[in-house]
Amino acid sequence: MSTLDGKVALVTGSGRGIGRAIALKLAAHGARLVVNGLDPERAEETARLVKSAGGEAVAVIGDVTDDTFAERFVRAAVDSYGGADIMVNNAGHTWDGVIQKMTDEQWDMILDVHLRAPFRLLRALQPVISTQAKEERARGVRVHRKIVNVSSITAAGGNAGQVNYAAAKAGLGGLTKTLAKEWARYNVNVNAVAFGYIHTRLTTAAADAGSTIKVGGREIRVGVNPDFMARLEQLIPLGRMGTPQEAAGAVYLLCTPDSDYITGEILVCGGGYV
């Protein structure tokens, strides 16, 4: 039996990159997936990859910041599989700028996707979690469920040009620790993984080469200067950036039964760089 056999896992932002790697990792260990992405083709591709490997997956297309998304995403899990066991709040992006040049729109967009969206998703999940826990308690059964919020080492150390992102991820840490206390009565483990520098389109594309992502009808410039990244890699004790698969491994650890007595923690996955 695989470690996650029969578990229902919801993963936001799983159309590409780390999110896709997380979805495929959980599915490989037996979980049934609800995946999500802004781009219908990429989200459906993730679902197809899960299915082609023998797993189960449904795709929910949409922006996690939309007012109706949280209920729609949770409902997909209930309608498709009858409940929910794991939620990974992974969706996100950056929109950098020093504070004197940062607009309210920049601030609000990043706080919305990294903090408000997870709050809404977890609020929508609560009735499902509560109902399942009560039914199991009545049968004398203990089932642990898992929440993993994706954070960043920037939350603890800051990063010039990312006051919005750092503030959002720091807030997510507070949400994680508080919900771990609130949901302990449901036997839910609530933890976070703080990623260091992982190879994704947000960290490997050169910012001065005009790389952008499209979010909410806006073209947002992303990427890191390659010379800067080369210098940074020398500061990482393991000597390199991480891969999406390695990032997914850290999330997986907190979804397994081996983490049943770990809650309210923030696991750093950064190759030793803090």
**Identity of the residue numbered 11:** V
Rg of the chain over all Cα atoms, to the nearest angstrom: 18
Pick from 12, 135, 157: nearest CA to 82 = 135
As annotated, the active-site residues are: 165
Contact between residue 263 and residue 190 where contact means Cβ atoms under 8 Å apart? yes
Find all residues with CB under 8 Å of 30, minimum gap 6, and list them: 1, 2, 3, 4, 5, 6, 7, 55
Beta-sheet pairing, 212-215 with 188-195: unpaired
Exposed / middle / buried, residue 53 (Cβ in 10 Å: 0-12, 13-18, 19+)? exposed
